[in-house]
Amino acid sequence: MPAQSSFQTAHYLWSAFAIVVAVTFATTGCAAEGPQPAAATASEGLDSDHDGIPDLVEIAGGPDPFSADTDGDGINDADEFTCATDPTMSDTDGDGINDADDDTDGDGISNADELAAGTNPARADTDRDGIGDNDEATSGANSTVADSDGDGINDGDEKELGTDPSRVDSDGNGILDGEDTHTREVRLDSTGATMSVTAIGAAALDAGLFESGDVSLSGIPGLMSVGIALRGVRNASATVTIPYDTSLVTTASAPFALIFDDETGETLRPISEQADPAAGMLTIRVEDLSEATIVVVDQVTWLAVWQ
């Protein structure tokens, strides 16, 4: 079994130290008012160079306990663990770039600049909002907060909706983006079906179109389209356009939509519908559907069977 590097050893010891500190605070309440523990001895965590790592850990792992920046690369030894670099090597990955100037997470911002800005040098998207740190920095958004402007929609969702993550009211209509209605366009390329969904806040991002895998749909009288599964239109309205087979259209036929509500089991009709025979498209309007399946049928054939 290969020997561990000094960096790995220090990392393990530092991780163990951090766990011990966390458990101590959780079980003893050291932060509470009252008598505090006496100053630590060297064996209990003395930090001679004030770099945030106890001497005991540095002695065992390799960094100099009397130098806050052992390798002189411009990054404090403790911060090197944040950067996922080696505090005993000024160029950890050997690429010819000093660790401070290097970019561990590849987000376009140097490790030193990330430390100064308070972002994570080892994570390209510090706040996990779906937008990289560099993109947020250049756009004026906050890389350390998922919802930079505090309007109730995280920055990544604002980007998808086309709103401004640095403005609480992107369109200036006096309503916070998180309380305003937003419209999103969805397309199902495999069928050509499309949907325009309007909902409050980021709810429109939950909506989607999929091909239904329900084989029982093939037995529907007068079926003229594939089944389209609709998801995420609860508390929202949507306009859905579904292609149908024009070769099945006769002078007596009239395409219309059937909606099967997967939650209630009911068969519904759209609020409105408009056929475009030349394009072979039926456009319908629906509201407040969480999960449903939509098909286009020949009205004449359908009614002949069910009425």
Could you tell me if residue 138 is inside a domain? no
Could you tell me if residue 79 is inside a domain? yes
Could you tell me if residue 51 is inside a domain? yes
Phi, psi of 212 (to 5 degrees): -75, 140
Contact 273, 282 (CB under 8 A): yes
Q: Answer yes or no: do 94 and 197 share one domain.
A: no
Written as six digits, the tokens of 200 are 């409050």
Q: Answer yes or no: do 97 and 210 share one domain.
A: no
SS3 content of the chain, % helix, strand, coil (to 5): 25, 20, 50
Could you tell me if residue 98 is inside a domain? yes
Contact 203, 166 (CB under 8 A): no
Structural domain harbouring 19: 6-124
Domain containing 219 — which CATH number? 2.60.220
pLDDT tens digits, 246-264 = 888 776 678 999 999 998 9
Count how many domains the chain has.
2
pLDDT band at 1 (very low <50, low <70, confident <90, very high): very low
DSSP 8-state assignment for residue 117 = H
Could you tell me if residue 46 is inside a domain? yes
Among 90, 124, 158, identify where a domain stops.
Answer: 124
Written as six digits, the tokens of 225 are 């389209």
pLDDT tens digits, 143-183 = 999 999 999 999 999 999 999 999 999 999 999 999 999 99
pLDDT tens digits, 183-224 = 999 999 999 999 999 999 999 999 999 999 888 998 998 999
Residue 112 CA to residue 40 CA, distance in Å, equals 31
Q: Answer yes or no: do 300 and 187 share one domain.
A: yes
The predicted structure's pLDDT at residue 13: 55
If one counts every other C-beta atom within 10 angstroms of the C-beta of residue 195, the result is: 24
Among 77, 101, 124, identify where a domain stops.
Answer: 124
Q: Answer yes or no: do 71 and 186 share one domain.
A: no
Could you tell me if residue 176 is inside a domain? no
The three-state secondary structure class of 135 is helix
Higher pLDDT, 3 or 283: 283
The three-state secondary structure class of 130 is coil
Q: Answer yes or no: do 77 and 191 share one domain.
A: no
Range 268-284 average pLDDT = 93
Could you tell me if residue 207 is inside a domain? yes
Q: Answer yes or no: do 103 and 191 share one domain.
A: no
